[in-house]
A and B are shown apart, each in its own frame.
Chain A
Amino acid sequence: MSGTIVSLHAARRDYALGAERVHALRGVTLEVARGDYVAIVGPSGCGKSTLLNLIGVIDQPTSGTVEIAGKRVDAMSDREATSFRLHNIGFVFQRFYLMPILSALENVALPMAEAKVARETRQSKAADLLEYVGLGDRQRHRPSELSGGEQQRVAIARALANGPLLLLADEPTGELDASTGAQIISLFRRLNDDGTTIVVVTHDEDLASAARRKIHMRDGRVVGA
């Protein structure tokens, strides 16, 4: 591990919920080192996903700062944030959200197409990524022809498409049975061993235990690391 890749300082995130003001994050300060594998755990509603959204540049803090790879991302314009995410962040969600009309290969190639990678390069890289996640023989299958575990592995391959600095996952095993979840845990472990920095939000004890570091949250605060 060398250097800090994620740095949050006194990050707060407040929401308006009807007439009420919800304090989802109450001043979180946190650092994640390059090559680390961090699991954020805590009860529902404690602010785990909000924290992940700030790190993933899909949300902005009400106050405080967020830096990714030394770059302030907390006040980026929508266009800048979109481009930053495309090139630096890989996302995996609880629901797989693959494009139903595209094949596994096309789904993986999608972010590369957006990044204007040449057609042949992206086809070959998407095939390699599918091979890496163990779906080399399922490239032409549509999401509806794949099991839940396979769809999540396609989603992981898609998240890795543009060689992100950071892989973020929000409950990636939440919709999978125990044995399929174990395969995803093992895949995350392998990815981290191969150098990918991973931050995962989970309720899954097995997934959290596989991480190098656990961050415990409660009521919008980090209570233990």
Chain B
Amino acid sequence: MLGVAIAAAMLLDMVMLATGMRESFRELLLSRGFELRLAPKGTLPFDTDATIPGVSAITEVLRRNPDIREISPVMGASIHIPSGNRDVSGSALGVDPSVQGDYELLSGRDVTTADAIVVNDYLLNQLHARVGDTLNAATGYDPQTRTYSGQQKLVITGRVSFIYGATEQSAAAMRRETLEGMSGKDKRDRASLFMVRVRKGADAERVRDWIETQLPNVTAISIATALAQVDARLSYFRQLAIILGAVSLFVGFLLVTTLVTVSVNERAGEIAVMRAIGISKAHVVQQIVIEGVGISFAGAILGLGLGLVTARYLNTILSAFPGLPMAIDFFLFQPRSAWSALALLIASGIAAGVYPAWRAASLPIAETLRREAIA
């Protein structure tokens, strides 16, 4: 039974793994309600250092489409902050706080003034700083001469959690104009990314097509496009999950077949007597198959608990991969996954029971009883 439970747990984990990361990514993309992202032509958001010039002009163009509700240009840059005699570096986002979709404020206040900065807990710990402290932040640092460029005094006004941030990643956000000012002339009126909300009921794909027609220097990525790209990148995980899931199902099938075979062999006399007193072959098979399903079901229930514990443990390990957003889960529990695993196990229980059951029910009655009597 433990073997069946382990196979069931592995099957559940593999079903969760096959769909979990994609679903988790979808939830992440949808979490702030931005259906479209605009990146420099041919790139993914923040995939390269490339930026989109002409933020004001692009915003003007986008506002012309009545299906577009909100536009949030985001500037990305590196940030360097001296702390004691060392340099603490991280990533910084320049945002419009009224429409930003990159972080959640945990405490304090948002970047309502030009000298405000909000930081995540990891950066706060690196700096041994607190909300209210003033930082001397810079966008450039030369480690040879230990000199900073684009430096500005900023006050930490709040603690935030970055939605797309990795576990051990120092990150901060400030107003976009502040970051532009620190980054120099080259980065004026530029954005690394635009996030776009469409009106309720509008077709995001149509808006995406419209944007690409109007703005040839950007790539517009809808949730569906992003998921297709994620699918392509995660195909290895999915294939691995499908193979391991199939192996677990097969192992479960073999275990149930073995258990049912051992059980019917032990009860060959009992089965022969059932047949002798007039119980039909079909009913004997049905009874044995029910036992197989019962074993699978009990294994599945045990396996569900075991699978969830294992999935949580493995998720903790895999989520610690550098550069992965904290909100991404490799193993995402969805009732559909549990039902799928249960349905597969019950189907395999039925399949596993049919052959030994049919064999047992087809044994010659007289011969079996004679053998049993001798035994």
Contact = CB atoms under 8 A, between A and B. Distances in A.
Interface of A: 49-50, 53, 56, 58-59, 78-79, 82-83, 85-87, 89-91, 93-95, 97, 99, 110-111, 114-115, 158-159, 162, 170
A53 B278 contact: no
B279 interface: yes
B373 to A, nearest CB: 6
Contact of B269 (A85, A95, A170): A95
Contacts of B280: 79, 82-83, 114
13 contacts: A49-B370, A53-B366, A59-B364, A79-B280, A82-B280, A87-B278, A97-B270, A99-B270, A110-B277, A110-B279, A111-B279, A114-B283, A159-B277
A90 B369 CA distance: 16
Given A53-B366, A59-B365, A114 B270 contact: no
Given A53-B366, A58-B366, A59-B365, A162 B278 contact: yes
A100 to B, nearest CB: 8
A14 to B, nearest CB: 13
A115 B373 CA distance: 28
A97 B273 contact: yes
Contacts of B275: 58, 82
Interface in B277-306: 277-281, 283
B278 A93 contact: no
Most buried by A among B270, B275, B278, B283: B278
Contacts of A87: 278
Interface string B340-375: 000000000000000000000000111001101100
B281 A78 contact: yes
A170 B365 CA distance: 14
A87 B278 CA distance: 8
A169 to B, nearest CB: 12
Contacts of B365: 53, 58-59
Contacts of A158: 277
Given A85-B278, A95-B372, 4 more contacts: A82-B281, A90-B277, A97-B270, A110-B277
A82 B278 contact: yes
Contacts of B366: 49-50, 53, 58-59
B129 interface: no
B372 A86 contact: no
A179 B281 CA distance: 37
A20 B365 CA distance: 21
Nearest to B370: A49
Contacts, number: 64
**Chain B interface, DSSP helix/strand/loop, else mixed:** helix
Nearest to A95: B269
Contacts of B372: 95
A71 to B, nearest CB: 15
A59 to B, nearest CB: 4
Contacts of B279: 82, 86, 110-111, 114
Contacts of A99: 270
B67 to A, nearest CB: 65
Contacts of B276: 56, 58, 85, 91, 93
A49 B365 CA distance: 12
Interface residues of B, number: 18
Contacts of A86: 277-279
Nearest to A88: B278
B273 A91 contact: yes
B46 to A, nearest CB: 63
Nearest to A87: B278
B269 A97 contact: yes
Nearest to A54: B366
A79 to B, nearest CB: 8
A162 B277 CA distance: 10
Interface in B239-281: 269-270, 273, 275-281
A93 B281 contact: no
Contacts of A53: 365-366, 369
B51 to A, nearest CB: 73
Most buried by B among A87, A95, A158, A159: A95
Nearest to A93: B273
Nearest to A99: B270
Contacts of A90: 277
B290 to A, nearest CB: 12
The 6 A-B pairs at the shortest CB distance, nearest first, are namely A86-B278, A59-B366, A97-B273, A53-B366, A58-B365, A85-B278
A148 B163 CA distance: 72
B269 A111 contact: no
Nearest to A171: B373
Most buried by A among B275, B277, B364: B277
Contacts of B370: 49
A115 B278 contact: yes
Contact of B278 (A83, A94, A95, A170): A83
A89 B278 CA distance: 9
Nearest to B365: A58
Contact of B373 (A59, A91, A94): A94
Nearest to B270: A97
A83 B369 CA distance: 19
A50 B367 CA distance: 9
B278 A114 contact: yes
A59 B365 CA distance: 7
A151 B275 CA distance: 19
Contacts of A114: 278-280, 283
